[in-house]
Amino acid sequence: MLADFSAGHVSSDGGLLFLRLLDSSLGLTRKFSLCFRDRRNPDAIEHTVHELNAQRILGLAVGYEDLNDHDRLRHDPVLANVAGKTDPLGQNRRDPAQRGKPRAGVRGYLMKDTPIIGIMAVIDRILAGHIAISDRQASLLIRQATGENRKIDDPAAELNSLSDRELQVLEALGKGLNNHQIADILGVSPKTVGTYKTRLMEKTSIHTTSELARHAQRRLGLAD
C-alpha cells in the first residue's frame, strides 16, 4: 500500500460552493457590503469590501469563528473563489511575498485590553503598510521566542500569558471534555477549539491532548 499526500491544492471546505450559490441568489454579502463606505486609496486596494465581507461571512458559515483562522484560510483556493477572487491561487498578487495567498490575512494583532491609543497606533502602522502588534503581544512573543514562556515553575506567569478563551479551553480540557463538548459550551465550532488547543500546546511546550489535560489539572487545581 502506498500513501501519497502530494495532492496539490486541496480544501476540506467544499460546502462553500453550495453557500456561494445561495449567496449569489440572495445577494446577501453584496447587499451587506453596501453598508460600508470604503475610504481606502483605490490604487492600493487588492481586496474589495465585498470580497473581504464575503471571506469573513462565508468563513463563519463553515465554522471559522476566530478571525485568526483566516491567516491560514488565506491559502484556501475554494474560499478565494467563493469570495469573488478571479485569481484563486493568488499568483498575480502585487506583492511578491504575498503570491500564493489569494485572500486577505492578518496584518495586526491586538489584545482585548489594549487601550484606544494603542489601537490607533496599530491601525496607523497597518495603513502605512507595516505589520503591527500591541506592546503586550510583542512581549508575549518575545518571551515565547526566548523560551521564557516555558518556565513551568511559574504557574502565575504562564496563566497570565493566556487569553480568556484559552483559559476556558484549558479548564475544559482539565475537566476531561472533548472538542465537541467544549465547542457546545463555548458556542463555537470544534475547529475553533482545535485552534485554541494548538495555541495552548505552543505556549506550554506540550505536544499531546492528554498531557495538556493533566497540565491543566495541575495548573488550575482540578486534580482529585
Rg from Cα positions in the chain:
20
**210 in a structural domain:** yes
Same domain, 62 and 43: yes
The pTM of the whole model exceeds 0.75: no
**8 in a structural domain:** no
**34 in a structural domain:** yes
**41 in a structural domain:** yes
* Domain boundary, last residue among 73, 106, 139: 106
Same domain, 96 and 60: yes
Same domain, 93 and 120: no
Instruction: Taking each helix axis as running N to C, give the angle between helix 164-174 and helix 179-186, from 0 to 180 degrees, rounded to the nearest 10.
Output: 130
Distances (CA, A) of 75 to 47, 67, 71: 15, 14, 8
Same domain, 204 and 122: yes
Distance CA 212, CA 199 (A): 11
**2 in a structural domain:** no
**9 in a structural domain:** no
Count structural domains, the chain: 2
Same domain, 158 and 75: no
Domain span including residue 95: 16-106
Cell triple for residue 145? 521566542
CATH of the domain at 195: 1.10.10.10
Distance CA 71, CA 64 (A): 11
Same domain, 48 and 94: yes
What phi and psi, each to the nearest 5 degrees, are found at residue 105?
-120, -170
Name residues of the chain where pLDDT drops below 50. 151-152
Count of positions (residues) in the chain = 224
Residue 219 confidence (pLDDT): 82
Same domain, 125 and 156: yes
* Domain boundary, last residue among 80, 106, 132: 106
Residue 151 confidence (pLDDT): 46
Distance CA 169, CA 174 (A): 9
Who's near 54: CB < 8 A, 6+ residues apart?
Answer: 23, 29, 33, 82, 83, 84
Same domain, 98 and 140: no
The distance of Cα 81 from the centroid of its chain, to the nearest Å, equals 19
**29 in a structural domain:** yes
Tabulate helix, strand, coil % of the chain (nearest 5). Answer: 55, 0, 40
* Domain boundary, last residue among 71, 106, 141: 106
